[in-house]
Amino acid sequence: MRNAILCILLFAASAVSAQQATIPLPAPTRTGGMSLNEALATRRSVRTFEATKITLAEVSQLAWSAQGITNDKGGRTAPSAHAMYFLRLYVARPEGFFEYLPAKHALQQLSAKDVRAALSTQETVKNAPIVFVIAGEYERAAKLTAKEVSQKLVNLEAGHAAQNLLLQATALKLGAVSVGGVDAKQTADAAALPADIVPIYLIPVGHPKP
């Protein structure tokens, strides 16, 4: 009986440890690559993808483009009012659900479940190799400024981050699309997000189908 209980405890502990694993990402490329002008000219919404896996290096570049740290003062790739940074960036992969940690440039595993198909009813989201979730901290923003202003600031910041991610996907010759028709409750429930974290965008990414 004691051995059985010990096995259960060890299994539970290993499961918790796996869910809390931190995965360091490869350093992002900060120079070279496709020019901004070319990325702007060729960016298009892509809704159908090949089954080809997205590499960790590609995840690194995409996550950094949306919320990466760019200087020793903590400035990020996407602008934020008074550098308050009200966004959270998550990545749904076949290997599980992760939060991007800008300061560490790493993924924190929150779940070992593949939640991609549960995030939305849209086939584009369900069939994408990976899905980025851009979510906002509206409650925290409302504590720092008037409610009407705070909502606007969070939404503007989300737009900045989304466009960065879409242009980076283009530069990597990947396809992506911003899905704004998000059922926030469905997405939050599927990802088990805290109540004060509200999904704003889903951005599925993959290799475009011809």
Tell me, yes or no, if the pTM score tops 0.75: yes
| Predicted pLDDT at 17 | 47
| Interatomic CA distance for residues 64 and 54, integer angstroms | 15
Residue 165 in tokens: 């991610």
- Where are the strands (E) in 25-173, listed by range? 87-93, 96-101, 106-111, 130-136
User: What's the pLDDT tens digit per position in 116-159?
Assistant: 999 999 999 999 999 999 999 999 999 988 888 999 999 999 99
Domains, in order of start, for the chain: 22-206 (3.40.109.10)
- Reported as a single tens digit per residue, the pLDDT across 8-29 is 434 444 444 445 699 999 999 9
Q: Which of 5, 130, 123, 118 is nearest to 55 (CA)?
A: 130
Beta 175-176 vs 198-206: how paired, if at all?
Answer: antiparallel
Q: In whole angstroms, how far apart are CA 76 and each of 42, 52, 70, 105, 161? A: 25, 30, 5, 12, 10
**201-205: average pLDDT:** 98
Pairing between β-strand 106-111 and β-strand 198-206 as defined by DSSP bridges? unpaired
